[in-house]
Structure 1
Amino acid sequence: MSQKVLPTKINLIQFRRQLRLITVIKRLLENKREVLLLYLRTYASEYEKIYNEVNEEMKKVYESYLQAVASEGISNIEEIALSQKPSLEVSSSIKVIFGVKVPTIKLDKSTIPSKPFSDVETSPYLSESYEEMTEAFNKIIELVELESTIRSLVSELRKTQRLINSIDNYILPFYRGSIKFIKQILEDRQREEFSRLKIIRRILQRRRESGSG
Structure 2
Amino acid sequence: MAKQVFPTKANLIATKSSLALAKLGYDLLDKKRNVLIKEMMTLLDDVKEIRDKITDSYAKAYEALKDANVSVGIISDLTENIPVDDGLHVKYRSVMGVELPRIEYEETPLRVGYGFETANSRVDYAYLCFSEVKKLTVKLAEIENSVYRLANAIRQTQKRANALKNISIPQFEKTVKFISDALEEKEREEFTRQKVIKSQKEKKEAH
Change (3 A) 1:191 1:46: same
Q: Residues of 1 paired with 2:177 and 2:13: CA distance?
A: 12
Give the 5 Å matches for 1:90-169: 90-110=88-108, 114=112, 116=114, 118=116, 121-122=118-119, 125-169=122-166
Distance across 1 between alignment mates of 2:172 and 2:93: 38
Shift of 1:121: 4.4
Q: Are residues 115 and 129 of structure 1, via their aligned partners in 2, closer, same or farther at CA, if it must alter by over 3 Å? A: farther
Q: Are the counterparts in 1 of residues 81 and 113 from structure 2 also a CA contact under 8 Å?
A: no
> Unaligned regions of 5+ residues in structure 1, if any?
none
Distance 1:173 1:204 in 2: 46
- Alpha-carbon displacement from aligned partner over 1:76-103 (angstroms, at most 9, x marks no partner): 323223x336612111122222322111
Q: C-alpha displacement at 1:141, in angstroms?
A: 0.9
Alignment of 1:17-32 (within 5 A): 17-32=17-32
Alignment partner, residue 185 of structure 2: 188
Question: Shift of the alpha carbon at 1:186?
Answer: 0.8
Picking from 169, 178, 202, the partner of 2:199 is 202
Asked whether the 8 Å contact 2:3–2:171 carries over to 1, the reply is no
* Residue 200 (structure 1) shift: 2.0
2: CA distance between counterparts of 1:97 and 1:190?
A: 52
What SS class does the counterpart of residue 46 from structure 1 fall into? helix
- Judged with a 3 Å threshold, the aligned counterparts in structure 2 of structure 1 residues 72 and 112 are, in CA distance, closer, same or farther, namely closer
The percentage of aligned residue pairs carrying the same residue is 26
Mapped to 2, the partners of 1:179 and 1:112 lie a distance apart of: 72
Deviation at 1:174, TM superposition (A): 1.7
- Secondary structure of 1:2's counterpart equals coil
Partners of 1:95 and 1:101 within 8 A in 2: yes
> Does structure 1 conserve the Cα–Cα contact (< 8 Å) formed by 2:68 and 2:123?
yes
1:187 CA drift (Å): 1.4
TM-score (norm 2): 0.87
1:167, CA displacement in angstroms?
0.4
The reply on whether 1:40 has 2:32 as its aligned counterpart is no
Cα offset, 1:45, TM superposition: 0.7
3-state secondary structure, aligned to 2:108: helix
Are 2:84 and 1:87 aligned? yes
Gaps of 5+ in 2: none
1:8 aligns with 2:8: yes
Query: Residues 169-188 of structure 1: matches in 2 within 5 Å?
Result: 169-188=166-185
CA distance in 2, matches of 1:106, 1:113: 21
Q: Which has the higher helix share?
A: 1
